[in-house]
């Protein structure tokens, strides 16, 4: 994920939550269409988590490296 907010002094997870909200509700300002469907819906348990920046910084590509061609079995 690319974060435009890098100059802010906040935890990375804070910006993930902003991004997830934009996906869930849509955000014209950053050109994200509403996805909804519940996957990115507000969740009090997830919002209460404290995830250290080192965890998210360690391998951001691994968090999004999902191979839909081989990881999804629809048969």
Per-residue pLDDT of the chain (75 residues; tens, 9 = 90+): 444 445 456 788 888 899 899 999 999 999 999 987 788 898 999 889 888 888 888 877 777 777 767 766 665
pTM of the model: 0.63
Cα distance between residue 7 and residue 41, in whole Å: 26
How does DSSP assign 5-64, residue by residue? TTTS-S-HHHHHHHHHHHHHH-BTTTTB----TTTT---HHHHH----HHHHHH-HHHHH
Cα R_g (the chain), whole angstroms = 14
């Amino acid at each position: 994920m690319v974060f435009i907010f890098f100059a802010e002094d906040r935890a990375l997870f804070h910006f993930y939550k902003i991004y997830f909200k934009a996906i869930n509700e849509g955000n014209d300002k950053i050109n994200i269409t509403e996805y909804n469907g519940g996957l990115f819906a507000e969740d009090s348990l997830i919002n209460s988590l404290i995830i250290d920046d080192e965890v998210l910084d360690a391998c951001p590509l691994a968090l999004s490296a999902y191979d839909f061609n081989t990881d999804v079995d629809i048969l």
